[in-house]
Every structure is written in C-alpha cells, then in structure tokens.
C-alpha cells in the first residue's frame, strides 16, 4: 500500500485513529474479555462524537455546500472513519500477523493482548472495523475529506516523508536515552519500521510515538525537535507529540526571544478583550501558554519578568494604566500596579506547578537597541498625537500611551518597549510605510524574535 495521499483538513488536538485508540487502552483498566475491549472502542468513539458534534453544515446538499464555499472538514470525516482507515491499512497490508501484534502491544501497553483471548491481531482489528462500521456515518456519502480553503493544510505524499519516519524509528536502535522500563525491543522497532514503510508513514509515526510514551523513553531535545518537525509535516498539532512524552527539558531561559509569536506582557495585552474584568482565570490561561518546544513554565517566567520590570519601575500608576490600554485596546479594566501584582501572583502560581525548582530572576535589560527603538517611537508619536484609544469607552489619549512607551524604552527595557509599541500600532491602526516595516523587522531580528512576531503589523503597510 502507498498510504493515504489525498489532502485533508487536520484539527485533532490529541492522538487519533488507531494510535488514539491504543492510548485509551493504556489509560483504562485491562478489559476482561473481547466484549469489554470492544466496549472501550465504542466509548472512545462516543467520547469523540460528544466533543466534536457534526455541524449543521452537514445538512446541506453537496451543491449547496459548494455554492457557499464549505468543505468537508476533518470533524465531518469523523473518528470512526479515521480509525477504520488505520485498521484496514494494517489488515490489508503484507505485514506478518506477528508484526501487527507487536505494534499493537507496544502502542497499547500490553493491557489488552488479543492473543491471550484466542484472537490473531488481524481478527482483533477486524472486530474494531466492524464496531466502527456499525455507527452512523458523519460524512456526506461519496465525498472524501478535502483541505479547508481557510487553512489549506495538506497531508504530504507518502514518498516525501516515509524515509524520514523510518530513519527516526531506526535511530532508536542506538538510543542512549533513559527509560523507566525496557526500551522497545528490536522486533518491535522492526515492526514499526514496516508499518511506516509498507502501510502508511503517518500511522507508523503515530504508533512509534505511542511506543515511546508507553515505554517512558526519556527524549532528549535533539530527538524532540525532529519529532516535532515530522509532526508538523503531517499537519499534527504540537500536543499530539507532547502529550505523554517524557521530554528532557532544559532549564527555563527567559533570555530566549524566539517564540513563534508574541510573548510576555505584550502577548498578554494582545489576548485581552473587553470582558476581562481582571479575570484571574484568563491570566492563568495565558501564563500556562508555553510555545512549542519551550520548557514548561517558560511562558509564565517571561511574563513574570516583564511584569516585575514594570512593577519595580518609577512609571506612575496612571502611565501603567495608559500603557495597558494602548497595548491591549481594553481601557478601564485595570488599575495600575494592582493589575501588575495580580499578574505576578498568577505567574508564580503557574511556576510552582510547572517548574517548582525555578527561581524568578529579573535579568539586566538589553540596552544596546534603545536608540533605534526610541527613534521609531518618536517618529510615530506625531502621527498619533490626535488619536484616542477607545474614544467612546474610557478614552485614553494616544499621547499618554506614547509617553509611557518612551519611558519603558529609555528607563525600563527597550525589548519590552518595542513589543508594546508593536501592539500600540495595531490598537491605533497606524499606517506604515514599507521602509518602516522593514526597520521593525530588522529590530526584531536583532532582538532574536521568532518568525511571525513582527509580521503581526504587516497589514498596516499602505499600498503605494
């Protein structure tokens, strides 16, 4: 078999298909018999249907959907259909039954062994397929999943990624990582390689991940980065890789600036909205939002560092309030240092949970870029002098915001000041020239920002 090569829309936040089912077996008490095991299959399908009900768009005809621009989404395809694809791929493959049995045991943790109940591995998979087939379909008959026109996510052709998956599995043979138990056996690794090479590289990759998690293999960062890169090529969420994986995270480093998007206090401002009302729960969600590949607690540590810089500064409370209003476009919902103290408390709570050994430290600010950042702030100030943040609800003069920004850049931290400046540009819808944007990109690169950080203002560039 060549594996599935058609494009499709991916929106699973966790494991799915046969590997997702295997995870359910590792998290449940061992079934006593085949009926109980198939009951667990049904429970997994039911849980997915409850979490992702079929949308009302399913009630439209194919022609109506086409006219309105709707596509068959992954959720319309459904967990049962995805599971059947994985199952049938193995059942119809040239793999020996012993290889399929080894793969299932490795992925499911040995809690349910079909052989112990008088079944071959293929017989067990056929029972799963029959259970899925008995459920009502979630898709329009005759249509396959198609890429969303909005996201445009495509599954790679099998030939493009097969060799890389097989090579990653093969590297485990010389693995030096630690494990809480025995590492996957050579026979198991050979069987996983066969799945990736002869059935479907995506299925082989997901089952390999399950085996790593079941065996509690300690994953060093170099291997972790490769696994994430492979997952990204398949369109999988980072959570599918991370959840349950024993990663040897490095110490938290608040000097890192390479988050994919924004981070710290400016990221918090970008997530604010009119209904915050200083919500502790909203703050918890942001503080827990570590970027892909970041040590758990990193998001809270960087946010805490930014917050402590402001809290310990000479910036007046009124200026802090104006700064937050300009960066968040949510005036009237905060009160100077009281707001900062709440943020700091929530960050410390998160760090006690995620990184109890971490000691918060406010590192010296990087001042070498203060002059170029200050030039950009001062160049923009006259253009927004007459503007007002939220003119119809707790209006805040833009001049007050720009004064606060200048204080942050010159007396607190140019990096934090520049990140907040980018947020203020969006709040005030400040038109930019291409030359200005290029300078911002250059400053962001010198600070070490991630790929999409500064591009958050590219929509403000005026067409010539």
| Reported confidence tier of residue 132, pLDDT bands at 50, 70, 90 | very high
Distance, CA of 411 to CA of 403 (rounded, Å): 12
240 with 269, same domain? no
241 with 266, same domain? no
Distance, CA of 166 to CA of 275 (rounded, Å): 49
Distance, CA of 177 to CA of 218 (rounded, Å): 5
Last residue of a domain, one of 217, 247, 277: 247
Print the domain residue range for 328.
262-458
Nearest to 9, CA basis, from 54, 69, 74: 74
299 with 224, same domain? no
136's CB contacts (< 8 A; 6+ apart) are: none
Is 381 in contact with 402 (CB distance < 8 Å)?
Answer: yes
**pLDDT tens figures, 242-285:** 999 999 999 999 998 888 889 999 999 998 876 666 678 888 98
Is 24 in contact with 16 (CB distance < 8 Å)?
Answer: no
| pLDDT for 403 beyond 80 | yes
Distance, CA of 438 to CA of 431 (rounded, Å): 14
Mean pLDDT of 110-120: 91
44 with 150, same domain? yes
Mean pLDDT of 83-95: 95
Which of the pair, 369 or 73, is modelled with greater confidence? 369
44 with 137, same domain? yes
State if pTM tops 0.95.
Answer: no
**pLDDT tens figures, 414-464:** 999 999 999 999 999 999 999 999 999 999 999 999 888 999 999 999 876
Predicted pLDDT at 70: 42
**pLDDT tens figures, 221-241:** 999 999 999 998 888 888 899
Three-state DSSP class for residue 357: coil
| Reported confidence tier of residue 11, pLDDT bands at 50, 70, 90 | low
Longest dimension (CA), the chain: 80
Structural domain count of the chain: 2
**pLDDT tens figures, 43-52:** 988 887 666 5
342 with 429, same domain? yes
Half-sphere exposure of 96 (CA within 13 A, CB side): 8
| Reported confidence tier of residue 146, pLDDT bands at 50, 70, 90 | very low
Q: What letter does residue 261 receive in the DSSP assignment? A: S
Q: Is residue 255 in some structural domain?
A: no
Q: Kindly tell me the burial class for residue 33, based on how many C-beta atoms sit within 10 Å of its own C-beta (0-12, 13-18, 19 or more).
A: exposed
347 with 231, same domain? no
339 with 433, same domain? yes
Three-state DSSP class for residue 388: strand
213 with 266, same domain? no
243 with 266, same domain? no
């Amino acid at each position: 078999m060549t594996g599935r090569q058609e494009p499709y829309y991916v929106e699973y936040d966790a494991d799915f298909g046969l590997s997702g089912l295997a995870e359910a077996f590792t998290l449940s008490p061992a079934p006593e018999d085949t009926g109980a095991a198939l009951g667990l299959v049904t429970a997994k399908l039911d849980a997915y249907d409850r979490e992702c009900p079929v949308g009302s768009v399913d009630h439209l005809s194919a022609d109506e959907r086409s006219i309105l621009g709707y596509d068959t989404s992954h959720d319309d395809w459904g967990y049962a259909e995805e599971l059947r694809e994985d199952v049938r791929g193995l059942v119809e493959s040239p793999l020996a039954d012993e290889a399929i049995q080894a793969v299932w045991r490795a992925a499911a943790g040995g809690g349910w062994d079909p052989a112990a109940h008088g079944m071959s591995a293929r017989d067990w998979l056929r029972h799963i397929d029959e259970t899925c087939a008995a459920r009502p379909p979630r898709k329009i008959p005759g249509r396959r999943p198609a890429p969303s026109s909005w996201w445009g996510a495509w599954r790679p052709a099998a030939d493009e990624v097969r060799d890389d998956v097989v090579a990653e599995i093969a590297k485990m043979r010389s693995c030096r990582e630690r494990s809480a138990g025995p590492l996957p056996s050579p026979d198991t690794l050979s069987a996983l390689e066969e799945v990736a090479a002869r059935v479907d590289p995506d299925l082989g990759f997901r089952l390999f991940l399950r085996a790593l998690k079941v065996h509690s293999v300690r994953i060093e960062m170099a291997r972790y980065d490769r696994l994430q890169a492979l997952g990204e090529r398949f369109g999988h969420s980072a959570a599918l890789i991370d959840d349950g994986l024993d990663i040897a995270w490095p110490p938290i480093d608040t000097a890192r600036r390479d988050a994919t998007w924004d981070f710290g206090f400016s990221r918090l401002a970008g997530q604010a909205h009119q209904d915050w009302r200083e919500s502790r729960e909203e703050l918890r969600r942001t503080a827990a939002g570590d970027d892909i590949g970041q040590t758990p607690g990193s998001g809270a540590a960087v946010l805490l560092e930014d917050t402590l810089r402001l809290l310990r500064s000479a910036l007046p409370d009124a200026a802090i309030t104006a700064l937050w209003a300009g960066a968040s476009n949510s005036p009237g919902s905060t009160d100077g240092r009281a707001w900062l103290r709440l943020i700091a408390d929530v960050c410390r709570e998160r760090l006690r949970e995620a990184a109890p050994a971490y000691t918060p430290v406010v590192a010296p600010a990087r001042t070498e870029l203060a002059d170029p950042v200050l030039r950009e702030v001062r160049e923009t100030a006259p253009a927004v002098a007459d503007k007002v943040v939220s003119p119809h609800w707790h209006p805040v003069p833009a001049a007050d915001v720009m004064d606060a920004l200048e204080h942050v850049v010159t007396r607190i931290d140019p990096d934090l000041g520049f990140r907040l400046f980018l947020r203020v540009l969006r709040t005030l819808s400040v038109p930019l020239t291409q030359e200005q944007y290029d300078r911002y990109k250059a400053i962001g690169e010198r600070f070490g920002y991630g790929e999409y950080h500064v591009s958050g203002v590219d929509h403000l560039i005026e067409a010539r």
